Amino acid sequence: MDTLFWLAVAAATIIPMLKLLPFFGINKLWAFACLLPIGTVVLLWVIAMKQQELEKR
């Protein structure tokens, strides 16, 4: 049962990341880093830094 929950949460984070990452110039395959919780945190941090960079333009 725990595995099913983990897969649902992973899918719920990977699918949006597949759409968001190319917008910020990051290869969409990096979305699979969301399989690990630290991967999600790192990707969100990278997106935030890219957002700041885009806002300065």
Residue 1, pLDDT > 90, answer: no
Query: How confident is the model at residue 20, as a pLDDT?
Result: 94
Question: 38 with 13: CB under 8 angstroms?
Answer: no
Query: How confident is the model at residue 16, as a pLDDT?
Result: 94
Average pLDDT over residues 43-52: 95
Instruction: Give the pLDDT confidence of 2-45 residue by residue, as tens digits.
Output: 899 998 999 999 999 999 999 999 999 999 999 998 999 999 99
Residue 57, pLDDT > 90, answer: no
Contacts by 47-51, CB closer than 8 A, 24 or more apart: 47/20, 47/21, 50/24, 50/25, 50/26, 51/24
Domain ranges of the chain: 2-56
